[in-house]
Amino acid sequence: MSKILSMKELVPTIYEAVVEAPEIARKAKAGEFLVVMPDEKGERVPLTIADFDREKGTITIVFMTIGTSTYKLAAMKAGDSYYAFVGPLGHASEIKNYGTVVMVAGGVGTAPIYPIARELKKAGNKVISIQGARTKELLFWEDKLAGVSDEHIITTDDGTFGRKGLVTEPLKEICEREKVAVVYAIGPIPMMKFCTFTTKPFGVKTIVSLNSIMIDATGMCGGCRVNVGNETKFTCIDGPEFDGHQVDWNLLTSRQKIYLAEEKCSLEKYVEEAKK
Ligand code: FES
Protein backbone atom coordinates (compact mmCIF):
# COMPACT_ATOMS: atom_id res chain seq x y z
CA MET A 1 0.00 0.00 0.00
CA SER A 2 1.43 3.38 -1.00
CA LYS A 3 -0.05 6.52 0.47
CA ILE A 4 -0.95 9.55 -1.63
CA LEU A 5 0.63 12.63 -0.04
CA SER A 6 -0.86 15.17 -2.40
CA MET A 7 -3.22 15.08 -5.32
CA LYS A 8 -4.26 17.79 -7.74
CA GLU A 9 -5.81 18.34 -11.13
CA LEU A 10 -3.04 20.07 -13.09
CA VAL A 11 -5.26 20.96 -16.03
CA PRO A 12 -8.60 19.52 -17.14
CA THR A 13 -8.36 15.68 -17.31
CA ILE A 14 -4.68 15.54 -16.22
CA TYR A 15 -3.82 14.79 -12.57
CA GLU A 16 -0.65 14.79 -10.48
CA ALA A 17 -0.17 12.62 -7.40
CA VAL A 18 2.84 12.66 -5.10
CA VAL A 19 3.14 9.27 -3.47
CA GLU A 20 5.05 8.03 -0.44
CA ALA A 21 7.25 5.27 -1.85
CA PRO A 22 10.77 5.47 -0.34
CA GLU A 23 11.94 2.10 -1.65
CA ILE A 24 10.97 2.95 -5.22
CA ALA A 25 12.28 6.52 -4.97
CA ARG A 26 15.66 5.19 -3.81
CA LYS A 27 16.08 3.14 -6.99
CA ALA A 28 14.07 5.14 -9.54
CA LYS A 29 15.71 6.41 -12.70
CA ALA A 30 14.39 8.57 -15.50
CA GLY A 31 12.55 6.59 -18.15
CA GLU A 32 11.38 3.74 -15.92
CA PHE A 33 7.74 3.05 -15.20
CA LEU A 34 5.41 1.86 -12.47
CA VAL A 35 2.28 -0.22 -12.31
CA VAL A 36 -0.48 1.33 -10.26
CA MET A 37 -3.74 -0.29 -9.14
CA PRO A 38 -6.35 1.93 -7.56
CA ASP A 39 -8.09 -1.03 -5.92
CA GLU A 40 -8.10 -4.81 -5.87
CA LYS A 41 -10.36 -5.08 -8.91
CA GLY A 42 -8.80 -2.33 -10.99
CA GLU A 43 -6.60 -3.10 -13.96
CA ARG A 44 -2.87 -2.51 -13.74
CA VAL A 45 -2.14 0.96 -15.03
CA PRO A 46 1.40 1.44 -16.36
CA LEU A 47 2.68 4.99 -15.79
CA THR A 48 6.12 6.31 -16.60
CA ILE A 49 7.73 7.97 -13.59
CA ALA A 50 7.17 11.73 -13.80
CA ASP A 51 9.48 12.68 -10.95
CA PHE A 52 11.18 11.23 -7.89
CA ASP A 53 12.76 12.65 -4.77
CA ARG A 54 15.17 10.28 -3.07
CA GLU A 55 15.52 12.43 0.07
CA LYS A 56 11.80 12.78 0.65
CA GLY A 57 11.13 9.22 -0.53
CA THR A 58 8.44 10.29 -2.96
CA ILE A 59 7.40 9.43 -6.49
CA THR A 60 5.30 11.74 -8.65
CA ILE A 61 2.89 10.31 -11.19
CA VAL A 62 0.89 12.24 -13.77
CA PHE A 63 -1.99 10.65 -15.64
CA MET A 64 -4.86 11.53 -17.89
CA THR A 65 -8.38 10.25 -17.32
CA ILE A 66 -9.13 7.94 -20.22
CA GLY A 67 -10.81 4.78 -18.92
CA THR A 68 -12.31 3.34 -15.76
CA SER A 69 -9.03 2.79 -13.93
CA THR A 70 -7.68 6.28 -14.55
CA TYR A 71 -11.05 7.72 -13.46
CA LYS A 72 -10.70 5.67 -10.27
CA LEU A 73 -7.16 7.03 -9.79
CA ALA A 74 -8.46 10.58 -10.28
CA ALA A 75 -11.15 10.04 -7.64
CA MET A 76 -8.55 9.19 -4.96
CA LYS A 77 -7.43 11.87 -2.51
CA ALA A 78 -4.43 12.73 -0.36
CA GLY A 79 -4.37 10.25 2.53
CA ASP A 80 -5.76 7.39 0.42
CA SER A 81 -3.49 4.49 -0.53
CA TYR A 82 -3.16 2.64 -3.81
CA TYR A 83 -3.85 -1.08 -3.66
CA ALA A 84 -0.61 -1.61 -5.60
CA PHE A 85 2.22 0.71 -6.57
CA VAL A 86 4.97 -1.40 -8.11
CA GLY A 87 8.27 -0.40 -9.63
CA PRO A 88 10.57 0.79 -10.88
CA LEU A 89 10.03 -1.35 -13.98
CA GLY A 90 11.55 -1.37 -17.47
CA HIS A 91 14.86 0.02 -18.61
CA ALA A 92 16.00 3.48 -17.64
CA SER A 93 16.87 6.09 -20.27
CA GLU A 94 20.49 6.03 -21.40
CA ILE A 95 21.86 9.21 -19.87
CA LYS A 96 25.16 10.50 -21.22
CA ASN A 97 26.60 13.55 -22.91
CA TYR A 98 25.35 13.25 -26.50
CA GLY A 99 25.78 16.92 -27.42
CA THR A 100 22.49 18.48 -28.47
CA VAL A 101 19.31 16.66 -27.58
CA VAL A 102 15.77 17.63 -28.51
CA MET A 103 12.98 16.60 -26.14
CA VAL A 104 9.56 16.57 -27.78
CA ALA A 105 6.61 16.27 -25.41
CA GLY A 106 3.01 15.94 -26.54
CA GLY A 107 0.15 16.43 -24.06
CA VAL A 108 0.57 14.30 -20.94
CA GLY A 109 3.98 13.20 -22.37
CA THR A 110 5.43 16.34 -20.77
CA ALA A 111 5.47 14.49 -17.44
CA PRO A 112 7.66 11.50 -18.39
CA ILE A 113 9.93 13.63 -20.55
CA TYR A 114 10.72 16.04 -17.70
CA PRO A 115 13.02 13.77 -15.59
CA ILE A 116 14.81 12.57 -18.74
CA ALA A 117 15.43 16.18 -19.83
CA ARG A 118 16.63 17.03 -16.32
CA GLU A 119 19.12 14.13 -16.24
CA LEU A 120 20.36 14.87 -19.78
CA LYS A 121 20.90 18.50 -18.79
CA LYS A 122 22.84 17.39 -15.70
CA ALA A 123 24.98 15.17 -17.97
CA GLY A 124 26.10 18.28 -19.89
CA ASN A 125 23.86 18.15 -22.95
CA LYS A 126 22.39 21.17 -24.68
CA VAL A 127 18.69 20.47 -24.14
CA ILE A 128 16.09 21.90 -26.50
CA SER A 129 12.50 21.16 -25.49
CA ILE A 130 9.41 21.33 -27.63
CA GLN A 131 6.20 21.07 -25.66
CA GLY A 132 2.94 20.69 -27.52
CA ALA A 133 -0.70 20.73 -26.44
CA ARG A 134 -4.05 21.00 -28.17
CA THR A 135 -4.80 24.29 -26.44
CA LYS A 136 -3.40 26.64 -23.78
CA GLU A 137 -5.52 25.28 -20.95
CA LEU A 138 -3.99 21.80 -21.38
CA LEU A 139 -0.41 22.99 -20.89
CA PHE A 140 1.27 22.05 -17.61
CA TRP A 141 4.80 21.94 -16.13
CA GLU A 142 6.00 24.55 -18.66
CA ASP A 143 8.22 26.13 -15.97
CA LYS A 144 9.66 22.80 -14.87
CA LEU A 145 10.55 21.79 -18.41
CA ALA A 146 11.89 25.26 -19.27
CA GLY A 147 14.01 25.11 -16.10
CA VAL A 148 16.00 22.14 -17.40
CA SER A 149 16.18 23.32 -21.03
CA ASP A 150 18.52 25.67 -22.87
CA GLU A 151 15.69 26.46 -25.26
CA HIS A 152 12.00 25.79 -24.69
CA ILE A 153 9.41 26.03 -27.45
CA ILE A 154 5.67 25.72 -26.89
CA THR A 155 3.19 24.87 -29.62
CA THR A 156 -0.59 24.68 -29.43
CA ASP A 157 -2.79 23.23 -32.15
CA ASP A 158 -5.17 26.20 -31.96
CA GLY A 159 -2.55 28.92 -31.45
CA THR A 160 -3.86 29.97 -28.02
CA PHE A 161 -0.30 29.91 -26.64
CA GLY A 162 3.16 29.77 -28.20
CA ARG A 163 3.45 28.81 -31.83
CA LYS A 164 0.34 27.68 -33.65
CA GLY A 165 0.83 24.24 -35.13
CA LEU A 166 2.33 20.86 -34.42
CA VAL A 167 5.55 19.97 -32.60
CA THR A 168 6.98 18.51 -35.79
CA GLU A 169 7.38 21.98 -37.35
CA PRO A 170 9.94 23.36 -34.86
CA LEU A 171 11.50 19.88 -34.70
CA LYS A 172 12.19 20.02 -38.45
CA GLU A 173 13.57 23.56 -38.19
CA ILE A 174 15.95 22.59 -35.38
CA CYS A 175 17.21 19.56 -37.35
CA GLU A 176 17.84 21.90 -40.31
CA ARG A 177 19.47 24.51 -38.09
CA GLU A 178 21.96 22.48 -36.08
CA LYS A 179 23.46 19.08 -35.49
CA VAL A 180 21.14 17.13 -33.23
CA ALA A 181 22.51 13.94 -31.66
CA VAL A 182 19.31 12.46 -30.26
CA VAL A 183 15.61 13.26 -30.19
CA TYR A 184 13.31 11.97 -27.45
CA ALA A 185 9.62 12.01 -28.37
CA ILE A 186 6.96 11.10 -25.80
CA GLY A 187 3.25 11.62 -26.25
CA PRO A 188 0.32 10.23 -28.22
CA ILE A 189 1.17 7.56 -30.78
CA PRO A 190 0.49 9.74 -33.87
CA MET A 191 2.72 12.48 -32.47
CA MET A 192 5.62 10.08 -31.79
CA LYS A 193 5.15 8.48 -35.18
CA PHE A 194 5.28 11.80 -37.03
CA CYS A 195 8.30 12.91 -35.00
CA THR A 196 10.14 9.82 -36.27
CA PHE A 197 9.04 10.62 -39.84
CA THR A 198 10.37 14.16 -39.38
CA THR A 199 13.80 13.13 -38.08
CA LYS A 200 14.35 10.18 -40.41
CA PRO A 201 15.60 12.24 -43.41
CA PHE A 202 18.14 13.89 -41.10
CA GLY A 203 19.35 10.55 -39.77
CA VAL A 204 18.80 11.66 -36.18
CA LYS A 205 18.34 8.85 -33.66
CA THR A 206 14.85 9.18 -32.22
CA ILE A 207 13.82 7.45 -29.02
CA VAL A 208 10.16 6.97 -28.20
CA SER A 209 8.55 5.69 -25.00
CA LEU A 210 5.75 3.30 -25.88
CA ASN A 211 2.56 2.97 -23.87
CA SER A 212 1.27 -0.28 -25.28
CA ILE A 213 -1.47 -2.13 -23.39
CA MET A 214 -0.01 -4.01 -20.43
CA ILE A 215 -1.50 -6.79 -18.37
CA ASP A 216 1.07 -8.44 -16.10
CA ALA A 217 4.02 -6.08 -16.83
CA THR A 218 6.45 -8.93 -16.20
CA GLY A 219 7.02 -10.25 -19.71
CA MET A 220 4.71 -13.27 -19.26
CA CYS A 221 1.42 -12.39 -20.95
CA GLY A 222 2.56 -10.91 -24.26
CA GLY A 223 -0.11 -8.20 -24.05
CA CYS A 224 2.36 -5.36 -24.55
CA ARG A 225 4.09 -6.83 -27.58
CA VAL A 226 5.31 -4.47 -30.27
CA ASN A 227 7.29 -4.97 -33.42
CA VAL A 228 10.60 -3.13 -33.49
CA GLY A 229 13.08 -3.75 -36.30
CA ASN A 230 11.02 -6.78 -37.42
CA GLU A 231 11.40 -8.40 -34.02
CA THR A 232 8.76 -8.91 -31.37
CA LYS A 233 9.57 -6.96 -28.24
CA PHE A 234 7.74 -6.60 -24.96
CA THR A 235 7.36 -3.01 -23.87
CA CYS A 236 7.36 -3.98 -20.19
CA ILE A 237 10.70 -5.75 -20.12
CA ASP A 238 12.46 -4.64 -23.32
CA GLY A 239 11.24 -1.02 -23.16
CA PRO A 240 9.50 1.23 -22.62
CA GLU A 241 11.98 3.14 -24.82
CA PHE A 242 12.69 2.01 -28.37
CA ASP A 243 14.30 3.32 -31.53
CA GLY A 244 11.33 5.10 -33.09
CA HIS A 245 12.62 4.57 -36.64
CA GLN A 246 12.29 0.80 -36.12
CA VAL A 247 8.79 0.72 -34.61
CA ASP A 248 5.92 -0.79 -36.61
CA TRP A 249 3.49 2.08 -35.95
CA ASN A 250 0.57 0.51 -37.83
CA LEU A 251 0.66 -2.60 -35.67
CA LEU A 252 0.98 -0.54 -32.48
CA THR A 253 -1.96 1.66 -33.48
CA SER A 254 -4.20 -1.31 -34.24
CA ARG A 255 -3.22 -3.17 -31.05
CA GLN A 256 -4.08 -0.11 -28.94
CA LYS A 257 -7.67 -0.42 -30.17
CA ILE A 258 -8.31 -4.10 -29.42
CA TYR A 259 -10.13 -3.55 -26.12
CA LEU A 260 -11.91 -0.32 -27.09
CA ALA A 261 -15.41 -1.86 -26.88
CA GLU A 262 -14.71 -3.40 -23.45
CA GLU A 263 -13.11 -0.16 -22.22
CA LYS A 264 -16.14 1.86 -23.34
CA CYS A 265 -18.56 -0.57 -21.70
CA SER A 266 -16.54 -0.57 -18.45
CA LEU A 267 -16.42 3.22 -18.32
CA GLU A 268 -20.17 3.54 -18.95
CA LYS A 269 -20.84 1.07 -16.13
CA TYR A 270 -18.48 2.96 -13.79
CA VAL A 271 -20.14 6.31 -14.57
CA GLU A 272 -23.62 4.81 -14.01
CA GLU A 273 -22.57 3.36 -10.65
CA ALA A 274 -20.90 6.62 -9.62
CA LYS A 275 -24.21 8.45 -10.18
CA LYS A 276 -26.11 6.18 -7.72
FE1 FES B 1 2.57 -8.82 -20.27
FE2 FES B 1 4.39 -7.08 -21.08
S3 FES B 1 2.54 -6.69 -20.09
S4 FES B 1 4.34 -9.22 -21.43
Q: From the alpha carbon of 214, which atom of ligand 1 is closest?
A: 3
| Closest ligand 1 atom to 220 CA | 4
CA of 49 to the centre of ligand 1 (A): 18
Return the HEC string of 231-270.
Answer: EEEEHHHHCCEEEHHHECHHHHHHHHCCCHHHHHHHHHHH
- Candidates 37, 59, 38; CA nearest to 50 is 59
Name the burial class of residue 254, with classes exposed (0-12), middle (13-18) and buried (19+) by CB atoms within 10 angstroms of its CB.
Answer: exposed
Could you check whether 2-89 and 100-256 share the same CATH topology? Answer: no
Average pLDDT over residues 210-220: 82
Domain definitions of the chain by residue range: 2-89, 100-256
- CATH number for 2-89 (one of 2.40.30.10, 3.40.50.300, 2.40.10.220, 2.160.10.10): it is 2.40.30.10
The pairing of beta strand 205-209 with beta strand 225-228:
unpaired
Percentage with pLDDT > 70 across the chain:
95
Helix (H, G, I), strand (E, B) or coil at 58: strand
**What order do you get walking across the sheet with 182-186 strand by strand?**
163-164, 151-156, 126-133, 100-106, 182-186, 205-209, 241-243
Which residues, including other chains, have CB under 8 Å from residue 193's CB and lie 6 or more apart?
244, 247, 249, 253
276 three-state secondary structure: coil
Q: pTM of the entire structure? A: 0.92
Contact 153, 159 (CB under 8 A): no
Architecture of domain 100-256: 3-Layer(aba) Sandwich (3.40)
Nearest CA to ligand 1 atom 4: 219
Q: Tell me if 35 sits within 8 A of 44, measured CB to CB.
A: yes
The rounded distance, in Å, linking the Cα atoms of 172 and 202 is: 9
Ligand 1 centroid to Cα of residue 258, in Å, is 15
pLDDT tens per residue across span 32-88: 999 999 988 878 889 999 999 999 999 999 999 988 888 999 999 999 999 999 999
pLDDT (tens digit per residue) in 81-135: 999 999 999 999 999 999 999 999 999 999 999 999 999 999 999 999 999 999 9
d(CA 90, CA 183): 20
- Confidence class for position 232, pLDDT limits 50, 70, 90: very high
How many angstroms does the Cα of residue 235 sit away from the middle of ligand 1?
Answer: 7
